[in-house]
Structure 1
Amino acid sequence: MQCANSPCKLKKDVALGRLTAELALPIELADLRESGHLHESGSFNVALLIPMCGPAGIWAPSCISSAQVAAAELNRTNGIQGRRVQLIMIDAAIEAGEPIEEIINELIELGAIDAIVGMHLSAVRQRLSKVVRQRIPYIYTPLYEGGETTPGLFAIGETPQEQLGPAMAMLQQAFRPRKWALIGNDYVWPRSSHSFAKTCLKQMNVDLAMECYVPFGLPSMTGLVDRLEASGADAVLVSLVGQDAVNFNRVFGRRGLHKSILRLSCALEENGLMACGEGNLERLFSVSSYFGSISTDANACFKERYYAMHGEIGPALNALGQSTYEGLHYLSVLLRDFGDIWRGRSTQDGLPVIHESGRSFERNGKKERPSIYLARADGVQFCDFKLL
């Protein structure tokens, strides 16, 4: 699942350079509708569902840029099913004005999209899974709570059992916190993840000091941080999304609470890290299957391709962005190697889809699963990667 030509030989690959970057330019849904060609395209149209507003909107630039690299790579060969890949950007934020399930149902009925690659919240995935109904393949790319069994929907991100459990165990062994707090936005991923976290705490014979869920876009994090400080927790699992996590960490840092409470996040990536500010990141840890600065052969290859297209000033590489790159390649190989079999299969079947990725993989029984790392924030970057 790593670079097929490792060591990577793309330093002089003009097809991925800036001169041909326009070949992978995504279009927005509004432009597609305005063109009047909703069902007349000869391209393989992929709906790229990403949050473009609200707290999770901070992830959008990295997701779009990474998906562009994958589209360019596919188009320089044979596209998907012999057709040029065209990305159609659609706002999948919870706060988006038009219901995403209505948009997708309309586009599928019109024959305007051939597949979905979604990097969005699990709450949106649950709504869409009832609409797509195996009519087109749906690749869901980020980390998630696990348990997805919908036919025709393939969740390729890591789950709490793979990611959260081992990270909590390592931090518990290293720092011996007596009490943990669990804080998150009020939707399925934090609640499911925290349910698993409570099982882990019970197994480790560690107390739960606080559990709290807040709405998206909470105007002030002061009250939440007040509650955390008063709880007596020595560690906190932060399952807040995007800008909400940023705002929480800023208030936390200004209070100097890192002196008494360590932080763990499963979804804080490089954009969020920079937005938090260097002074607000002490004793903050993140766990993920991908970090932009991690030194692996797979990431070296991906970074070379990414910077060949976008240059050094491209959006920050991170796990959520990389997942859209991987999702497009997963989609291509799924359709190439499994034909229409995908309609009756799901995530739980573990189809052996061998695809390009910026992540490294290791065999777990009969399946290959991504390697998971615990990292520490250092300034505005991650370091001290520990393989879990």
Structure 2
Amino acid sequence: MTTEEDGWKVGVLFAHEGVTRLIERSQYRGVLLAINEINEAGGVLGRKLKPVIHDPRSITSEYGRLAQKLILEDRVNVIFGCYTSSARKEVLPIVERHNALFFYSTLYEGFEYSPNVLYGGAIPNQNSVPLARYLLNNYGPRFYFIGSDYIYPRESNRVMRNILREGGGEVVGERYLPLVTDASAIANVLEDVREIQPDVIFSTMVGQGSIDLHRCFAEAGFDSKTMPIGSLTTNEAEIAVMGPEVSAGHIVSAPYFQSVESAANRGFLDRYEKIYGSYQDVTSCAEAAYTQVHLFAQALQTTQKLSTDMLREAILGSVYDAPQGLVRIDPDNGHAYLQSRIAMVNEKGHFRIKCESIRPIKPDPYLVHPQFNDWSLKMREPRTSS
């Protein structure tokens, strides 16, 4: 599929335009940073990784079309890409039909398995369960759901509703807005929030919608100290756009934050800043994308060829010392053992880690063992935090 002159071709499929451009740009940069590191170190078996890049522009149907173009026209059988679950669902049948390998680096709702996908983002037992426990313990049982109207928010909220039921919480409101929406629609939802007075808003708004929700929350005069927005999707790239006056006090669950204290993370952020001028937009999804490229390169070193079946076998069970900590690919389901962390945005607009898992959490994509009542035994105060 490639010649020595071509190097090892891999597809890169992230949006540079549209509603999810901020987060997908950080994932794109994470992939290119890892490729650059690998190539500067001599590549894999003396051959450089060669990215073949396409921009789906945040248009759901374009992800599937361009995945097929990568495979059939560009002759690529390894693809790194996508943010939303809707986009992943477009790519999934394409890679399965052509037996390509798809690296997906975004948190998602779980309840999926494909031998053609390596899942690098957090799933509900790694982020929803610990976030629910933290918010119930610290703020109260009454949750109001606000989400973007597509697969991930609706499925994530279905899972969170079940988790809350197990923990003694309840959902007192649930509203969905289009991916492309306006502040007036969000303001109308927040008027309903004002009337119902929940203890917590659980947001699955993404991209610009997440930014607008936080801005409207502040403009409406709500206090994050008494009723925070808890989220799995809000990230550093969005916080940088919002500013601390809007984002302070809100809470996120993710495997990685820029404030993780480790030599691996400091080196990662320094190299990112050297190439892109700043690491302000580095997100958990960017860190996962970066890590997946290194896991792929390790596997390619073993297989010595771009065979989907051989690469899959080499990646399953493999380990990489990522910026978040050790990441291992579960040989049972192709998902990743990940750290679990809860963080709050401080007055400077930075995530301060409040608690973290003692060790990486085994992925349970079908939430067979939610273990809600055991999470207090698995979380600890971070050794250091910013």
Q: After the TM superposition, which residues 297-316 of structure 1 pair with which residues of structure 2 at under 5 Å, given as runs?
A: 297-311=263-277, 313-316=278-281
State the AA in 2 paired with 1:192: E
Partners of 2:231 and 2:10 lie apart in 1 by 31
Q: Which residue of 2 aligns with 1:383?
A: 352
Q: Could you list the per-position Cα deviations for residues 26-62 of structure 1 after superposition, in whole angstroms to 9, with x for gaps in the alignment?
A: xxxxxxxxxxxx9997132222121222221112442
- Which secondary structure state, in structure 1, belongs to the residue aligned with residue 144 of structure 2? strand
1:129 maps to 92
- Structure 1 gap ranges (5+): 1-37
1:168 is matched with 132
Q: Which SS does the other structure have where 2:322 is aligned?
A: coil
Q: Indicate which of 93, 107, 110 corresponds to 1:143.
A: 107
Write the distance in 2 (CA, Å) between the matches of 1:280 and 1:58.
18
Runs of 4+ in 1 over 4 A off after TM superposition: 38-41, 338-342, 344-347, 362-368
How far the C-alpha of 1:93 sits from its partner, in A, is: 4.5
The one-character-per-residue Cα deviations of 1:167-215 (angstroms, maximum 9, x if unpaired) are: 110221122x131011111122112211111111111222211112211
Distance 1:139 1:289, change over 3 A: same
CA root-mean-square deviation: 3.0
Residue 179 of structure 1 is matched in structure 2 by 142
Equivalent residue runs for 1:94-133 within 5 Å: 94-95=58-59, 99-133=62-96
Superposition map of 1:1-388 within 5 A: 42-80=6-44, 82-95=46-59, 99-133=62-96, 134-175=98-139, 177-220=140-183, 221-258=186-223, 260-311=226-277, 313-337=278-302, 342-343=308-309, 351-361=316-326, 369-379=337-347, 380-388=349-357
Output the amino acid matched with 2:325: S
CA contact (8 A) 1:183 1:213 kept: yes
Q: Which runs of 5+ in 2 are unaligned?
A: 358-386
Q: Call closer, same or farther: CA 1:125–1:381 in 2, change over 3 Å.
A: same
For residues 22 and 95 of structure 2, the distance between their equivalents in structure 1, rounded to whole angstroms, comes to 26
Alpha carbons 1:180, 1:237 under 8 Å: kept: yes
User: Which shows bigger deviation, 121-130 or 106-115?
Assistant: 106-115
Q: TM-score, normalised by structure 1?
A: 0.80
* C-alpha distance in structure 1 between counterparts of 2:73 and 2:3, whole Å: 6
Cα distance in 1, alignment partners of residues 328 and 11 from structure 2: 31
Contact 1:152–1:345 (Cα < 8 Å) also in 2: no
Deviates more, 1:283-292 or 1:75-84: 75-84
Identical amino acids, percent of aligned pairs: 19
Query: Contact between 1:152 and 1:344, CA under 8 Å: does it hold in 2?
Result: no
How many angstroms apart in 1 are the aligned matches of 2:258 and 2:17? 23
CA contact (8 A) 1:322 1:358 kept: yes
Conserved? CA contact 1:44–1:113, under 8 Å = no
Structure 1 residue 320: deviation in Å? 1.9
Which of the pair has the greater relative contact order for Cα pairs under 8 Å at 6+ separation? Answer: 1
Q: Describe the shift of the 1:334–1:229 C-alpha distance in structure 2 as closer, same or farther (beyond 3 A).
A: farther
Distance 1:305 1:251, change over 3 A: same
Q: Which moved more, 1:63-72 or 1:200-209?
A: 63-72
The offset of 1:285, in angstroms, is 0.3
What is the aligned length?
347
